[in-house]
Amino acid sequence: MTIQAAKTHFRDAEKIIAESIVDVATELRLTDVSDLMLFIRSDQAANIEDLVNSSTELYFKNGTLKYALAAGCSVRWDTSPTILLDMEFRHAAVSVFFRLVLSQSRAAVEVIDIFFDETGLDQELRVQRLTDAVADAKLPDPRTQLRSSAA
């Protein structure tokens, strides 16, 4: 598969994952960037994992979205730092390995690879399986629950 074909192949998955982790990325971006850079530079994987776990616990079922034990940061004089966190989504016979890119003003997702327990799935069925797995892995929105309990 060419690089261009791989980019096209993962485009739907990147959109699905990115839309599902908006709240998680927002939580992670609340962390002091200097603390994140220190954790990354000094290989403090357990601290990064704790941050990711606390950022995901309100939005995803336990263990479905995890830090994949690799991170990096880009720090330059003329721009804000960028944090790169390798992540893993695993639920309902679907595994997605991706990189979460966090910067001051935005977040992005780069899918590295996707695995399904079944073989021979066409692209449309793969997208549907991923969509269903993400929907099933997500917890009810806590803001919606607060509004409905207040009514």
Q: Which amino acid is at 34?
A: S
**Residue-level pLDDT at 146:** 57
**Residue-level pLDDT at 105:** 87
Q: At what angle do helices 33-41 and 45-56 cross, to 10 degrees?
A: 140
Q: Which residues of the chain have pLDDT under 70?
A: 1-8, 142-151
**Residue-level pLDDT at 141:** 81
**Residue-level pLDDT at 7:** 58
Which tokens sit at 75? Answer: 């720090």
**Angle CA 25–81–96, to nearest 5:** 40
Provide the 3-class DSSP secondary structure of residue 66. strand
Domain ranges of the chain: 3-150
Closest-CA residue to 58 (of 102, 4, 21): 21
Give dist(CA 28, CA 45) in Å, integer. Answer: 15
The predicted model scores a pTM of: 0.88
Which tokens sit at 112? Answer: 């590295």
